[in-house]
Structure 1
Amino acid sequence: MMNGSRRVTVLSLHRGSASIVRALVPHFDLAPAELAARLFRAPAVLAGGLPEQLASSLSEVLGNAGLRVVVEPDDAPLPPPAVHTYDVALYLRDGGRFRDVCTELAAVLGCPLSDAAAALCATPPTVLGSVSQATVDALQARFAPLGAEVDASHPPTARYDVFATDAVSLAVIRPVLEAQGVTPAEAPLVARDLSHEQAERVWRELGPRGGVRLLDHAFQRFDVSLLSAPSDAGFTELLVRETGMPPALVPKVLKRLPVVLHTGLSRADVVARTAPLEAAGAKLAVQLINFRSFRLTVEDSKDPAAAAELLSTALGLPANETRSALSRLPHTFQPAVGDTRARWLVAELRSRGTRTSLVSH
């Protein structure tokens, strides 16, 4: 070790981006993949044995790129390794912020906007894997102001539900589940609460055939609907307190049941939000929304050309076919889109003077 030599340690991704990796490679004796891994698993040493001036210069460059770094003596205690690493998904609550979130995600990943959009619209929208708690915290700070929530899962302790698809029959799925000590239920939710090890084995057997979809509990999202309500006056106050609903709106809502009270709740939030209402005598329905899809109906449009341009790209339709459809409104487009993409399209089209509605697929 050089006498008085220094090392550069990244403490957090903070406002940084994976796009910096290419610029850093010539300055660090690390492969690009390893360098990116260290950024996302901060705190981690990027380089050691550096002259003080070089270490300070690199630290300044990294800081200007948005990373939180520190220059330390080489013989200082090493940063403790991340106790756990996490897989991360994003849930976009406000469809109108889709472009903002995509732009930020593309910056974090150092990827094209189209790739960021595809990741955000996937089921589940897992955008990063094997990152540290420091990176989870940095992502939460970056995406919360944009209306996106960060869900993090520690794979070894994660729990999974198994959903059957139409690709294979339950007769094919049954022996695979039974080999893991799981008794299959009726499709589509054929198994609940599998361990990571069980889920991996099921996926190895059935995933390549397209027979199942596995969904980590940490990435599940739900809508909660009110089916019936008790008649006592105290329930009105409870409903206002638990949902933020204006008091004047409660009588109208109670006359139009069923009605959605909460959208896009995490699994943990479902329990917290439903318990007080159910204790008061309300009957609720909880619907998993990760796999739901919609067809888009265009009711009217003040700018059909702009709407056609967006829809042909988003739905994968020929431009002339989309323009023709928008000349005869209302029109329901047949390609189905997932929950996130559907909410984005509704908000985006509204901003362009086009009124739409969604039809469950």
Structure 2
Amino acid sequence: MRSVDWRGDLRFDVIVRSVGSASPNIAAAIAAGLGLPVEAVVASIYRAPSPLARALPRSAADAMCALLCELGLVVDVDVSPTALEPAVTLDVAAEIADPALTEAAGLAIADFLGVSVDEAMELLMTPPGIVLGNVSPVTVAAFEARLPQGALELTTADPLTSRYALFAGDLPPSERAAVASMLPGVVLADDTSLVVMDLSHGDADRIWRRLARNPGVRVFNQAFLRYDVQLDAADSDDPGVAAALEELAGIPLDDCDSVLALAPVTIENGVRHADVETRLKAYAARGISVTARLASFVEHVLVVESAPPPALALVGASGTAVLPLQLPPLSLPRARLLRARLEQAGADVLQYDAPPARAA
């Protein structure tokens, strides 16, 4: 707690510097004590640094500061009126980095957000894994400090300056025409689907408000999208190709001929949207034909080739189940987590992209 020299005629502000180790459940109690809306208290805590109470006598400010520190908040007292620059607010998405630590990460997320573990895990398992929204950088730092080290990879983005992607299917003609009128220059395909990239925050918000009632319409921050790089073709007789694949995709030289024979085949996973163009140009410069495929929402199939009974029990199968056993398609985070659990239990598991769903 920062100390400020006292004068009897001064008033003081209580400033939240970080959520620290506090539980979100304290917001309601603080709001009741201060006579403030809960939403205002939550905003002060999660968009810190931010004033929580203003123009208090020094004794009252010190008492409040001591109490809030005991609750886990990082707070201090400053002479009123405190001038604070508005903090940039960020959205945060999380990807599984170590499946063995995912359950511990889910517990940490649940504790930080004040939700159940099941709700926290659902956030992680639903691409693109958005776990926090409209929070300040110091809140992101406090959140990351509570996570098991190496469990998750976090991506942050300023929602106001980000670019957005619209994905929509089965839109009626009237809705497609409305989107066309809102986005001059956009060329619509001759079907009922619609994909528009690089939307501003304002355009994305307007389109979402117009189309949200339509099932299958999704708008995502492009910073959270991930792509796979697919090798389409390359000259296997060119010695530079093998060197390029080792350098760019990490494929050992001894395996390059086998990989080239499998083309088209995925050679990179999880490339960020901002890096896609650079990656494609890098391959093209080395004479390798590749394609970037949006991977964030592709479902995955697991095939259990062999497994002891405890592993089969994880998927609700008995020890007499016929193997290989193909499991229903799952989102990538769910597939990664289940595969890790199965393999830890002694199963041999294959994983591949689920084929696209056929139109009814």
TM tier relative to shorter chain: 0.7 to 0.9
2:324 is matched with 330
1:347 is matched with 340
Q: 1:209 is paired with a residue of what secondary structure? A: coil
Q: 1:327 is paired with a residue of what secondary structure? A: coil
Q: Distance in 1 between matches of 2:304 and 2:69?
A: 48
1:316 is matched with none
Residue 197 (structure 1) aligned with residue 202 (structure 2): yes
Candidates 12, 32, 37, aligned match of 1:31: 37
Identify unmatched segments of 5+ residues in structure 1: 312-321
2:177 is matched with 175
Q: Which AA in structure 2 matches 1:208?
A: R
Q: 1:291 is paired with a residue of what secondary structure? A: coil
Q: Distance in 1 between matches of 2:21 and 2:271?
A: 27
Residue 267 (structure 1) aligned with residue 273 (structure 2): yes
Tell whether the 8 Å contact from 1:28 to 1:46 is kept in structure 2 after alignment.
no
1:85 is matched with 89
Q: 1:99 is paired with a residue of what secondary structure? A: helix
Q: Taking structure 1 as reference, are residues 188 and 355 closer, same or farther at Cα in structure 2, changes over 3 Å only?
A: farther
Tell whether the 8 Å contact from 1:19 to 1:111 is kept in structure 2 after alignment.
no
Residue 215 (structure 1) aligned with residue 208 (structure 2): no
Task: Return 236-245 or 274-283, whichever deviates more.
Answer: 236-245
Identify unmatched segments of 5+ residues in structure 2: 1-6, 356-360
Q: Which AA in structure 1 matches 2:324?
A: P
Candidates 289, 297, 305, aligned match of 1:299: 305
The root-mean-square deviation of aligned C-alpha atoms, in Å, is 3.2
Q: Which AA in structure 2 matches 1:323?
A: A
Q: Distance in 2 between matches of 1:239 and 1:60?
A: 59
- Identity of counterpart residues, as a percentage? 32
Q: Distance in 2 between matches of 1:102 and 1:202?
A: 33
Q: Which AA in structure 2 matches 1:207?
A: A
Tell whether the 8 Å contact from 1:8 to 1:71 is kept in structure 2 after alignment.
yes
Task: Return 64-73 or 108-117, whichever deviates more.
Answer: 64-73
2:113 is matched with 109
Residue 282 (structure 1) aligned with residue 288 (structure 2): yes
Residue 239 (structure 1) aligned with residue 233 (structure 2): no
Tell whether the 8 Å contact from 2:233 to 2:288 is kept in structure 1 after alignment.
yes
Q: Which AA in structure 2 matches 1:85?
A: T
Q: 1:347 is paired with a residue of what secondary structure? A: helix
Q: Taking structure 1 as reference, are residues 55 and 169 closer, same or farther at Cα in structure 2, changes over 3 Å only?
A: closer
Q: Distance in 1 between matches of 2:25 and 2:40?
A: 14
Deviation at 1:206, TM superposition (A): 2.6
Q: 1:145 is paired with a residue of what secondary structure? A: coil
Q: 2:306 is paired with a residue of what secondary structure? A: strand
Q: Distance in 1 between matches of 2:145 and 2:284?
A: 34
Task: Return 232-241 or 256-265, whichever deviates more.
Answer: 232-241
Q: Which AA in structure 2 matches 1:353?
A: G
Q: Which AA in structure 1 matches 2:115?
A: C
Q: Distance in 1 between matches of 2:305 and 2:140?
A: 41
Q: Which AA in structure 2 matches 1:156?
A: L
Q: Taking structure 1 as reference, are residues 275 and 144 closer, same or farther at Cα in structure 2, changes over 3 Å only?
A: farther
1:45 is matched with 51
Deviation at 1:205, TM superposition (A): 3.0
2:351 is matched with 358
Q: How many pairs are equivalent?
A: 344
Q: Which AA in structure 2 matches 1:357?
A: L
Q: Taking structure 1 as reference, are residues 21 and 284 closer, same or farther at Cα in structure 2, changes over 3 Å only?
A: same
Counting only pairs closer than 5 Å after superposition, residues 135-146 of structure 1 correspond to structure 2 as: 135-139=139-143, 145-146=149-150
Q: Distance in 2 between matches of 1:72 and 1:235?
A: 63
Q: Distance in 2 between matches of 1:137 and 1:71?
A: 22
Q: Distance in 1 between matches of 2:277 and 2:298?
A: 21
Q: Distance in 1 between matches of 2:70 and 2:278?
A: 42
Residue 73 (structure 1) aligned with residue 79 (structure 2): yes
